[in-house]
Amino acid sequence: MAESRIPASPLSVGSVVAALTAASLHIPAPVVLAVTDSTNDEALTIAAAGAPAWSVVVADQQRSGRGRLGRVWETPPGQALLFSTVLRPPAGWAASAWGWIPLIAGIAVGTAIAEHCPEATLKWPNDVVIDGPAHDGTPGPRKLAGILAERRGDAVVVGIGINVMHAQDMLPIPAATSIAIEGGRVTREALLASVLANWLPLWDRFVAGGGDAQATGIRADYSAMSATLGRRVRVDVAGKELVGEATEIDLDGHVVIDGVFGRQSVSAGDITHLRPV
């Protein structure tokens, strides 16, 4: 584990555009902010005003970012890659397609991070993690990144937060980690470009295939990167606990749990990886 502190330079429009240009990404001009309460709120605002698909809002610091299940979190300046992207799915998509939107983002984020942290993997539904104990010895996995998708009209905004340069004492819990702590070295601008460069072709394939995760191979791609499948897990769903083996990601992007209750598909909930008994 590497625990050195990496000097962080503030993001700028110029540095972000340069990284996107170097990656040959042809997307709308990014919005780059020094600080914001929530990049998702900013992206939802521009989406409502008609911003095109792949409009991106990036912030150097976020004060009231939203996580899953109503959680709120804050990041120190200069340490995380914090951005939200506007997507505009085709009209008439089947309901099964919508659940795959954050999972596709997860594949892109996980692939980009794995270039610097080869052990990066996916924890259903929307975390990128290192599948091992926390650095204080408590059970992991160690969280590197989180993803939150929010729908507004015909647009979906996908917010992504990646711990890039943090030292351990900058993180809120021992089970969080960063690319730097895990020994990786990458600038936030380069990582943004890498995520988008992985994400666009996945999205184009999914759209061209009519939002069918099975036929397009997206379901197989996600399953291959999953640290959750094949594991004994506990899922907290609406105040109830389900314990069993996570056997598959179904056609809707839900995780299927096999336990004493039979097989149950779970669309949302807190999931914990359990140690083998």
Tell which CATH classification among 2.40.160.40, 3.50.50.60, 2.30.30.100, 3.40.50.10680 matches the domain 229-273. 2.30.30.100
Query: Hey, what CATH class is 13-224 in?
Result: alpha beta
Mean predicted lDDT score pLDDT of the chain = 91
Give 91: exposed, middle or buried? Use CB within 10 Å, 0-12, 13-18, 19+.
Answer: exposed
- pTM for the model: 0.93
Alpha carbon of 206 to those of 48, 88, 202, 268: distances in Å? 24, 13, 6, 22
Instruction: Answer whether residue 210 shows pLDDT above 60.
Output: yes
Per-residue confidence (pLDDT) for residue 64, from 0 to 100: 65
**Residue reference for tokens 């983002």:** 105
CA distance 126 to 69: 12
Q: What was the pLDDT predicted at 204? A: 98
CB 128 within 8 A of CB 122: yes
Domain boundaries, the chain: 13-224, 229-273
pLDDT of residue 50: 96
Please write the tens of the pLDDT for every residue from 36-69.
999 999 999 999 999 999 999 999 998 865 554 4
Q: What is the distance between the alpha carbons of residues 146 and 144, in angstroms, rounded to a whole number?
A: 7
